[in-house]
Amino acid sequence: MGLKINPYTGLVLSIFLFLISISGSVLMVDETVVVPEYGYVEWPIQVYPGQVIRAIASVPTEDTSEIIYSILELLILDEKNFAYYESGDHGNIRERSNEWISSNSWDGIDVNIWWFGRVHVVLNNEKALERDTSKASEIIIAILRPYGYLTLPSIVFIFVCLYKSYRQYLKDFGKH
């Protein structure tokens, strides 16, 4: 005894669920911050498998015609690697995604998430050029595919419904 569902209806619902799982975005952060000299600013973000975290940043300057490279470092780290980063034990960081931020242009990174937990988005002024001065930076952090964790179950459901639909088709139309 269990829930009986028409295989064709199940197929339509599972395709709809799949489309939901691969679309959409959620804006988590859109602000201007001041990154202190020899310091960093960090945002912890809860994530789930199948999501993509996107972080982009810029350091606006008064002279918009000049681009200065390596003004800030943008990092995305998981919990374990952020603990190493925070303690200054950078040699033990095994997985990181980073991008150097330039002035007057938007630079960023996308990271596919394959675990449950938290990521830390960091604007780092510890290794940047002119790290002895604080820097105002604009940052945008978004989660793409916020329902990405539904992708695998929806694909499994699609194949189960396809199989049941095929069996139902043979039962209804296969015998002449």
Same-domain check for residues 18 and 43: no
Report the number of distinct structural domains present in the chain.
Answer: 2
- Domain extent, residue 12, equals 1-23+147-176
Same-domain check for residues 18 and 69: no
Same-domain check for residues 72 and 128: yes
Same-domain check for residues 68 and 142: yes
First-to-final CA distance of the chain: 31
Instruction: Tell me the pTM.
Output: 0.84
Query: Are the beta carbons of 85 and 37 closer than 8 angstroms?
Result: no
Same-domain check for residues 83 and 8: no
Question: Which residue, among 173, 174, 154, has the nearest Cα to 11 in the 3D structure?
Answer: 154
State mean pLDDT over 23-43.
95
Quick: pLDDT tens for 98-153. 888 888 889 999 999 998 999 999 999 998 878 888 999 999 999 999 999 999 99
Same-domain check for residues 123 and 163: no
